[in-house]
Amino acid sequence: MYAQVDDPQAYLDKAVALGGKVVMGVTVIPDMVTMALFADPDGDVTGLVKG
């Protein structure tokens, strides 16, 4: 699952502050997408996409 956000780094930081772990830091694929992945405390992975 991916969530569209305005600032992936800010949401990634919040996820980590709440006990999550970074799976993939903010990554920019030029002219395509800016994204990141984190795992919640149960290990479920969620994606963040800049929208």
pLDDT in tens, 39-49: 999 999 999 99
Helix runs in the chain, H state only: 8-17
Whether the CB-CB separation of 5 and 50 falls below 8 Å is answered with yes
pLDDT at 25: 98
Domain tally, the chain? 1
What is this structure's pTM? 0.92
Report d(CA 30, CA 46) in Å as an integer: 22
Range of the domain at 30: 2-50
Q: What separation in angstroms does the CA of 50 have from each of 20, 24, 42?
A: 19, 14, 24
Report d(CA 46, CA 27) in Å as an integer: 14
pLDDT in tens, 16-30: 999 999 999 999 999
User: The domain that contains 26 carries what CATH number?
Assistant: 3.10.180.10
